[in-house]
Structure 1
Amino acid sequence: MDGMNGPPVLDVPVVAPQETNEVESLNQRVDEIFVRVDQLEQQLTEVEQFYSSSNTKQPNAQKGGSNGKEKDKEKLVTNLKKRQQDSARREAVGVKRMQELMRQFGTLLRQITQHEWADPFMKPVDVIGLGLHDYYQVIEKPMDFSTIKSKMEAKDGTGYKNVREICSDVRLIFKNAMKYNDERDDVHVMAKSLLDKFETKWLQLLPKVDEEEKRRKEEEAELKQGMQLAQEAAHAKMARDLTFQLDEVDTNLEELREMVLQKCRYVMWQTRRNNID
């Protein structure tokens, strides 16, 4: 009667709870690796964008060390915090120097405004009272000493940033008067005379202004270079770390691959044994 039985039914291995847990563990590790790879891709993109936009050669991020140039950069930025503190200190000193220049320029202005011919230029031109109906057609930007004084004393950020800005407005006062009034007019003559006196006194202060501007440019260039070096060192380190982390991901993938192969071999072995039984 046994011969009437049909072909043997292959036993399908039943997945034990332990095996289910192992599969879930493998899936979890795969998910973790995918997340890690996404993070590394974002960091790699950041490094590539930095080097492509800064015209800086990307460092060689191989294991075993870095080239001498990288080491030099790292040495230069180890004291970045000190650089920032020094920069803040220099900025404060620079502000004081500029304030001193402003004070000296203020002395120059008082000498001009105390001149007997300065009265017509102390306040805005009374366009309506004097019947100067075409004044704003001729003069694009009116200026006077009271406006300059208010701007010099402004505390809301709208004031002058440097001495040259004040100098430009002082010149504008006299040039406006000379432009609007005829050469034979008293106001024109007074403005021309005071402008000459101002330029003479300005030339005495100009070397100090030039020296301060040169110093400011040098300090700004030094600060910019320090920040650039800091960014290069940071991205060089990031590139090296990426190499190590990518190697670690490769190792994890290889371990995972070996675990999956072992699991497959076990399942195949278990299936054959069940069939034989």
Structure 2
Amino acid sequence: MGVVDAPAVAPPETARDMSQAESLNQSVEEMSIKVDQLEQKLNEVEQFYSNSNTKHPNTPKGGSLGKDKEKEKFPLSSFKKKQQDIASREAAAAQRMQELMRQFGTILRQLTQHQWAGPFLQPVDVVGLGLHDYYEVIEKPMDFSTIKCRMEAKDGTGYKNVREICADVRLIFKNAMKYNEERDDVHVMAKTLLDKFETKWLQLLPKVDEEEERRKEEEAEMQLDMQLAQEAAHAKMARELSFDLDEVDTHLEELRDLVLQKCRKMTTEEKKRLGSAITRLSPEDINKALEIIAQNDPTFQASGETVEVDIDAQSESTLWKLKFFVKDTLQLQMKSSPSTGGNNNGDNNQNCNNKRKRDMPESVAKTVQRKSKKPTS
């Protein structure tokens, strides 16, 4: 996408001309900003589909949900509702986990109120008891007061589920049993309380397993819903992007036409050079040049091997369109053609072809030879 070269427009001579030129420049600037914004959106959409590969979690191998089923399950209009549903399920899951922790807290109170719980309520007084090798034997000390503090933590360091608390409760008693001999009172007390804890934990475990399985299923479903939500949002963005690009193309074409209308008149010498340049085009590009003329002149007939084109009869906008098309096309031909090497016979043929075109009479300014391949027998 682009706008015609600035030199094609006649220099502004009046205040009105200057105002129109400024208006054109402003329009071009606005289009440039719009194109940059659209390019960013396009990169975002491409990046999303490149990362996701349009694959969904928990989809059976070799199978897919199908486009229609996806749309039926997750229509674009329900995007916000789906987000609200996900938030509601998250909140409900958090409440259920809080209830499990409350029940687990009941078990903890029963343990801490036991007559033998004293040695385990606070951190071991390593210095006061002279236990110089305690930290060499015990890697991670644990006690009930530490567990309580972590259960009540609000800064993100708290327990995420009851299994984490269960592991720390076991650690209290296993540390005591590890450091103290079997005949020691602390060892016996720890073993007794651990047995009581395991009995009560087995009563709560079915509810924990049920919640974990439910949570696993909900997380998988929410992950799929979010994937579909993201795809729906990016599909909407892609559709809007397509419409915006079409709109930009239309505006650019309008600006181009407006600029061409302001073009100065092409001189006789420029028309002559344009006609000569057209002869250097390939047959395909000559056809494109004829299409430019036909777009601006509905009465123009571009059929047959020989097409009459009166350069002098063309409008200024058509002439300038042809000029820019021919210029761009010839530049591309120069870039794509090899400078050295290649087939000498092909080079000779090309040189002869170019020479034949250059040797065409001056009437080529009014007549363009349109070539077509003849069917082979």
Structure 2 match to 1:26: 24
- Measured in 1, the distance between the counterparts of 2:109 and 2:48 equals 52
2:79 is aligned with 1:117:
no
Give the 3 Å change call, closer, same or farther, for CA 36–151 of structure 1 in structure 2. closer
Please tell me whether the aligned partners of residues 170 and 194 of structure 2 are also in contact (alpha carbons under 8 angstroms).
yes
What is the percentage of aligned positions where both structures have the same residue? Answer: 72
More helix by share: 1
2:247 is aligned with 1:254:
no
Write the mapping of 1:123-202 to structure 2, written as runs, cut at 5 A: 123-202=122-201
Amino acid at match of 2:182: E
Q: How far off its partner does 1:247 sit?
A: 1.8
More displaced 10-residue stretch of structure 1: 196-205 or 91-100: 91-100
- Measured in 2, the distance between the counterparts of 1:48 and 1:186 equals 68
Please list every run of 5 or more consecutive structure 2 residues that lacks an aligned counterpart in the other structure: 1-9, 56-65, 269-377
Please tell me whether the aligned partners of residues 12 and 18 of structure 2 are also in contact (alpha carbons under 8 angstroms).
no
Q: How far off its partner does 1:265 sit?
A: 5.0
- Measured in 2, the distance between the counterparts of 1:77 and 1:16 equals 54
Amino acid at match of 1:215: R
Write the mapping of 1:206-225 to structure 2, written as runs, cut at 5 A: 206-225=205-224
- Measured in 1, the distance between the counterparts of 2:132 and 2:11 equals 105
- Measured in 2, the distance between the counterparts of 1:225 and 1:256 equals 46
- Measured in 2, the distance between the counterparts of 1:246 and 1:129 equals 78
Amino acid at match of 1:22: Q
Q: Secondary structure at the match of 1:92?
A: helix
- Measured in 2, the distance between the counterparts of 1:13 and 1:206 equals 86
Give the 3 Å change call, closer, same or farther, for CA 70–195 of structure 1 in structure 2. closer
Q: How far off its partner does 1:156 sit?
A: 4.8
Deviations 1:25-54 (A, max 9, x none): 322222222222111111111111111122
Structure 2 match to 1:78: 77
- Measured in 1, the distance between the counterparts of 2:12 and 2:85 equals 72
- Measured in 2, the distance between the counterparts of 1:238 and 1:180 equals 64
Amino acid at match of 1:42: Q
TM-score (norm 1): 0.78
Q: How far off its partner does 1:250 sit?
A: 1.9
Structure 2 match to 1:106: 105
Structure 2 match to 1:42: 40
- Measured in 2, the distance between the counterparts of 1:166 and 1:204 equals 16
Give the 3 Å change call, closer, same or farther, for CA 247–200 of structure 1 in structure 2. same
| Larger RCO (CA within 8 A; separation ≥ 6) | 1
Deviations 1:233-269 (A, max 9, x none): 1111111122222222222222222233332255769
Aligned to 2:49, which of 51, 55, 75?
Answer: 51
- Measured in 2, the distance between the counterparts of 1:83 and 1:23 equals 51
TM-score (norm 2): 0.59
Q: How far off its partner does 1:206 sit?
A: 0.8
Q: Which runs of 4+ in 1 moved over 4 A?
A: 67-71, 265-269
Deviations 1:45-65 (A, max 9, x none): 1111111122228xxxxxxxx
Give the 3 Å change call, closer, same or farther, for CA 247–90 of structure 1 in structure 2. closer
- Measured in 2, the distance between the counterparts of 1:227 and 1:25 equals 45
Amino acid at match of 1:169: D
Structure 2 match to 1:91: 90
More displaced 10-residue stretch of structure 1: 73-82 or 223-232: 73-82
Root mean square deviation, CA, Å: 2.9
Q: Secondary structure at the match of 2:263?
A: helix
- Measured in 2, the distance between the counterparts of 1:22 and 1:267 equals 21
Please tell me whether the aligned partners of residues 74 and 228 of structure 2 are also in contact (alpha carbons under 8 angstroms).
no
- Measured in 2, the distance between the counterparts of 1:194 and 1:72 equals 56
Structure 2 match to 1:275: none
Please list every run of 5 or more consecutive structure 1 residues that lacks an aligned counterpart in the other structure: 1-11, 58-66, 270-277
Give the 3 Å change call, closer, same or farther, for CA 145–35 of structure 1 in structure 2. closer
Please tell me whether the aligned partners of residues 76 and 229 of structure 1 are also in contact (alpha carbons under 8 angstroms).
no
